[in-house]
Structure 1
Amino acid sequence: MLEVTGPEAAAYLDAHLTCRVAEDAHGALLAPKGTLLGLVRLERAAEGFRVFSEQAAVRQALERGRVGWMVELTPFEHHEPPMSDLERVERGIPALGRDIDERTLPAEAGLVGTLVRTDKGMYPGMQTVLRQQRSGTVHRALRRLALDAPVPEGAEVHDEAGVLGTIGTAVVHPTRGPLALALLRSRAVPGTRVRIAEVSGIVEP
């Protein structure tokens, strides 16, 4: 992805990412309106930091934002095996482009307080995060579903009132059976019974 070096490397990343680079290994980068541009992983480098992300928008935003900063951004090639879908679903970790997208707010994805801090200096999109946190209004939420049978990704999820959302990543756990992540309307609280076509399921805590 990008190696960020120079005397202002830490300050530059702190001003753009949702995490504290001196403390956190994972974070995100938001659009000015507060939606997700991408998730990132950080590593210390000899003269700065390495920023890993699967989203090209992250590199593009960081390159645009370097004007006026005493930093150097150097692309590098890195190939590491991604976390398996099964592990992600077990841990409730969304994949951008499958479970969430560039229209998703951090609160909807359950990232506020973990990958998206509200106890640090300002970064792009933070005002939206704080405003939503103060209002307590979240219209959608990422949920894990326990299902009676496997379902296809992209299938609609319904409750008795209508459509809740669509299935994101769907897996079959070796002991727990079919599971899936889905970004659903906020009325789908834990314990809600849902259906996907003829398959029944329940929203997990």
Structure 2
Amino acid sequence: MAAALQLRDRSDAGKLAVSGPDAAAFLQALLTADLAGLAPGSGTATALLAPKGQVRALGRVLAVERGYLLHCERPALEGLFRGLWSGRVGWRVEIHKLTLQQGLVTVLGDDAAQRLGLSLPAGAPEHAHVATDLDGIPVRAVRSWAGVDLVVRADRVAALLEAVAARPACGACDEGSWTALRVAAGRLAYGCDAGEASLPAELALGEATVATGKGLYPGLQTVLRQQRSGTIHRRVCRVHAARALLAPGDELVAGGAGADRAGAGARVVGAVTSACAFDALAIVRTGAEGPLVHRETGTPVAVTPIDEARPSL
């Protein structure tokens, strides 16, 4: 029996459109992903960096017939828009905010698009997308890590939610369930797991998201310097605590279970950024010695560095 469909309204996500004769070259010069050859109907995860390499935004870019659509978690929107807006001088481009004009609904499941009858091919790669309709409602269906994202006009969000919810055994995906899926998948949410002080190497962003073999873009020198030196002071990790409930902001300390949680003998080496029950994502200092302990309870935790992380949107 197929698993029940679940849906989550993510309409507060940031949305921008970039168009104009220079749109492709403009984004190639500012974003970290290599957009060369990105054809309409395809997309990629990407980032926008500050000149010194800090991550100003994480998100995805989709190539459409008349330009590009950019989506990001809401906390990343201001940094993304300001970075593009300030860099537009000399380029023949137009940048439009679409956050309030469009909604975004995620339907969970690898086969969600097919079960909804959408014209997105089975086995399509992440970020593949197509303009289609669901029960007569025009949508852009985007293959996502969690299932399929449906981008729709803001005034049709309610109708879209109703149409999806009418499917047999369909229910809502609450915040806890969504966080659990995101943590298990190693998907980073900007504003939780990443922010303006983060560096790409600390977030384990791979070549597909932060390319080093294309032309110059803001922050590339820092990316290359860290790559050459191998000097990474912090790293995003998965954390599991067998006997303690984890929460964002919880501290991880080195010194073993005998360390005094109040401070004596304990050295803070990391902090939880996203959590659901016994599992979490955390930013942890590299080279932390000995077993790590959840400071709030004194419980030992298992910490595993993530080989390659990607944005949650």
TM-score (norm 1): 0.89
CA distances 1:24-70 after superposition (whole Å, capped 9, x unpaired)? 51100000100000112111222111111231110111011111001
Question: 1:55-74 maps to which residues of 2 (within 5 A)?
Answer: 55=76, 56-74=78-96
2:225 match: 131
Using the alignment, how far apart are the partners of 1:188 and 1:95 within structure 2? 24
Contact 1:28/1:116 (<8 A) preserved: yes
Of 182, 201, 204, which residue of structure 2 is paired with 1:107?
201
Question: 1:160-179 maps to which residues of 2 (within 5 A)?
Answer: 160=255, 162-172=267-277, 178-179=278-279
Aligned residues: 198
2:26 aligned with 1:36, yes or no?
no
Q: CA deviation at 1:188?
A: 4.0
3-state SS, counterpart of residue 204 of structure 1: strand
1:155 match: 250
Using the alignment, how far apart are the partners of 1:124 and 1:3 within structure 2? 20
Q: CA deviation at 1:139?
A: 0.4
Look at both structures and tell me which one has the larger radius of gyration over its CA atoms: 2
1:175 match: none
2:284 match: 184
2:293 aligned with 1:195, yes or no?
yes
Using the alignment, how far apart are the partners of 1:106 and 1:29 within structure 2? 10
Using the alignment, how far apart are the partners of 1:180 and 1:81 within structure 2? 25
Q: CA deviation at 1:79?
A: 2.4
2:240 aligned with 1:146, yes or no?
yes
Q: Post-superposition, which runs of at least 4 consecutive aligned residues in structure 1 deviate over 3 A?
A: none
2:31 match: 17
TM-score (norm 2): 0.60
3-state SS, counterpart of residue 61 of structure 1: helix
Q: CA deviation at 1:112?
A: 3.7
With over 3 angstroms needed to count, the CA separation of the structure-2 counterparts of 1:68 and 1:95, relative to structure 1, is: same
Mean Cα displacement is larger for which, 11-20 or 152-161? 152-161
Q: Can you give the 5+ residue segments of structure 2 that lack an aligned partner in the other structure?
A: 1-14, 107-145, 147-177, 256-265, 306-313
Counterpart residue identity of residue 72, structure 2: S
CA RMSD of aligned residues (A): 1.8
